[in-house]
Structures are given as structure tokens and as C-alpha cells.
Amino acid sequence: MADASRSTPKPLSQGQGMTRRQGVGLGLLVLAAIFVWMVFAQWPDWLNAILISKKAFLSAILNGLTLAGLYFLVASGFTLVFGLMRNVNLAHGSLYLLGAYIGYEFAEWTGYWLLGVAAGFLILAVVGLVMQVLVFRRLEGDDLRQTLVTIGISVVAADLMLAYWGGTTYQILTPEWLSGAVQLPIVTAVRSNGTEVLLVYPFYRIVVLVSAIVIGVGLWALVNRTRIGAMIRAGVDDRDMLAASGVNVHVVFAVVFALGAGLAGLAGVVGGSALSVAPGEDVRYLLASLVVVIVGGMGSIVGAAIGALIIGLAEQIGLVYFPTYGVVLTFVIMVVTLAIRPQGIMGGTR
């Protein structure tokens, strides 16, 4: 009887305005409408005065999205490995940098950029596999030692890469068909003679964003729609139970680790083409993926996507509107997340 009374909707709530859920939905709708207006309308002067210019604002948003795409590629592997193995792989940034250098070498050697990307993914996947078999399997269940060993690996790897490739800044050259800028159908300003100025944006960055979305959707489908994904999810929830039900967890671990490392390598090549490759990038991307995963929630692909989006946008908007304190913004977001929702936005409560 008690159950029945709880499930019956209260008749009063229909008359008294909206429920909380409806309120949030309406709020989001209004925000979306404002955003759409900001993208397509011609800006009044007061808005230009506040946000520098429509071009600056939209570029910051677009750059934030591309950066988020890059961060997502790096952080998705990181979060998968952590979710499954409870192992914070602090050498993940080194995998990114190594992937970038290898991609550069292959692209230079073969002359095909796509081969560089493929090499970055495949070779780093193998490196990840080797790391899992040689290092992590030996230290299984010993979180602290695993973490310390990965720090050690990252320091040694950084120095080895510095010794081999030197301190020079490398730029992986994208092929002709990917470079150059395209005009987006968004009017940023109208000249006095009535011609419209369209937003110009580098084509390659749009490609980066689209590929990150495709890879993200692919990963989500892999984890949520396939048999191996079911194993991974089961492993995230209860490793011992998965092993007891006859699955060879070591194989699952190895596959996930290889995938995570490969994604980091891929991101290295893609990111090294959009920005550049230089010593120090490893720490930068490790830090970025740590923040992304903390904000998004450990072990969740959707969380990594949301975290990457927030951090990418915050970084770019900060860079344009308050460059001196832009760096702080990222960490403020992290601290606030930790204070309000310590498990991260999409993190489960375990």
C-alpha cells in the first residue's frame, strides 16, 4: 500500500507551474536559443564591446571545441585504463609525445600524412601492450608501486626523447587537401558597403573535431554495444567476478591498454599537426587528461567527453578574455568539481 501511494503522482503538481526537471529543461532551451542567436545574428555594438568581436568569440568557441577533441582523444584512453585496472598511468603523456614523434618520422619518411597517423596509433598500441605485459602485469594489485613506476617511465622516456629528437620544435605537415582555411556560413560582420564578412576557420581543425566525435561515438559503441565492451564494463564494476565467470581478464586488460595507448599516439600525431611537437608536451597533456578525467569522472567515456569539452572551452575562452589568469580557470573548475561532486560529473558512486 505504501508503494502505491508513493508512485501515484500528486495531483497538485500539475496546477502549480513546472517541476524541477521542466525548469532545468526550459533553462537549457533558453541558453541554447541565446547561443544560436549569438552565432547567427549580427551583433549589436554593446555585445561587441563586451566580447571584443563576434569573430573572436566564435573562434574561441570553435578552438575550444577542437582542443576538447584533442583532449578527449588523450583522456579517453587514460580513463579506460584507470576504470578497468585502477591504475593511474602517469606515463600516458609520454605515449602522446612518442606518438607525435613517430608520426612525424613516418610522415616524413613515406610522404603520406595518413601513414604517419596510422603508425602513431599502431606502434603506440604495441608499446602499450608491451608496457602492460612487462610492467603492469608484474605489479598487479599494487597501486602505489604501479603509479611510481609509471612516473619513472615518464621521466626516463622524456629524457630519451630529448636525446634522440633534440629540443627543436617539430611541425607535422598536413597534406595539401587538409590545410588552408574554409569560410563557414556564419556572418561575423557587415562592411560599410554591405558585403558580409564570413567566419574563416582552418579546415584541418574542423577535421580534428569531426574525427574526435567519430572516434568518441565509436568508443561509446564499443563499450556499450559489443561483447568486449560488456566485458570491459563488467571489469570496471567487478574485476574478480568477471574473472570468476570464465573471462580471461588479462586479455581484456591488454586490449584496453593497447587501445588507450594507441589513442594517445593517434592524438599525438593529430595534435602535433594542429599545434606542434616539442619537449614538455608530455607533461602538458598528462596534466590536461588528469584534469579532464577528474572533472568528467574516472572510468567513463561520456565523462571524458564532457570533461574535455569543459576544459577545452575554459582554456580558449580564458586565453582570449583574461590571458593572464586563464591558466587558473582550469584549476578552479577542477577544485569546484572536487568540492561539489568528488566522483566527477559522470563518475559512479562506488
Partner 1 sequence: MTMKRRTLLALTLATGLTAPGIALAQADTIKIGLLATFEGAFTVLGEDSERGAMTAVDEFGGMVAGKKIEIVKGSSDASPDSAVRAARKLVEQDGVKILVGPLSGDEGIAVKDYAKTHPDVTFLNGSSAAQDTTLRDPADNFFRFSTDGAQWMAGLGTYAYNDRGYKKVATVAEDYSFPYTQVFGFMAEFCKAGGTVPSKSWVPIGNKDYSSVIAAIPDDVDAIYVALGGADAVNFLSQYNDAGGQAPLIGGSITVDQTVLTAKGRMRDVLIGTPAAGPTADTNDSQAWKDFTAAYKKQDGAFPSPSLFAHAYYINMKAALLALDKVGGDLSDDGAKLRQELSTISFETPTGKVSLDSNRNAIADMYLTEVSEAADGTLVNKLIKVTPQVNQTLGIPTDEFLALGAVSRENPSCP
Residue 256 CB, nearest approach to partner 1 (Å): 29
Residue appearing with cell numbers 607535422: 172
**Per rule CB under 8 A, is residue 56 in the interface with partner 1?**
yes
Within residues 311-340, the interface with partner 1 by CB under 8 A covers: 315-316, 319-320, 323-324, 326-327
Q: Closer to partner 1 at the Cβ: 153 or 197?
A: 197
**Per rule CB under 8 A, is residue 252 in the interface with partner 1?**
no
Query: Nearest-CA neighbor of 282 among 63, 148, 90?
Result: 90
**Per rule CB under 8 A, is residue 170 in the interface with partner 1?**
yes
Query: Nearest-CA neighbor of 54 among 45, 66, 63, 64?
Result: 45
**Per rule CB under 8 A, is residue 77 in the interface with partner 1?**
no
Task: Choose the binding region for partner 1 from 10-18, 53-61, 85-93, 226-234 (rule: CB under 8 A).
Answer: 53-61
Residues 221 and 239: their CA atoms lie apart, in Å, by: 21
**Per rule CB under 8 A, is residue 244 in the interface with partner 1?**
no
* 80 neighbors 256 (Cβ within 8 angstroms): yes
Q: Closer to partner 1 at the Cβ: 171 or 248?
A: 171
* 305 neighbors 314 (Cβ within 8 angstroms): no
Sign of the alpha-carbon dihedral angle for 83, 85, 91, 94: negative
C-alpha cell at 197: 564578412
**Per rule CB under 8 A, is residue 194 in the interface with partner 1?**
no
Residues 266 and 272: their CA atoms lie apart, in Å, by: 10
Could you give the 3-state DSSP secondary structure of residue 206? helix
One-letter amino acid at 62 equals L
* Residue span 13-52 as binding mask against partner 1, x where in contact by CB under 8 A, dash where not: ---------------------------------------x
Residues near partner 1 (CB under 8 A) are: 52-53, 55-56, 58-60, 63-64, 67, 162, 166-171, 173, 179-181, 189, 197, 200-202, 204-205, 275-276, 278-281, 284, 315-316, 319-320, 323-324, 326-327
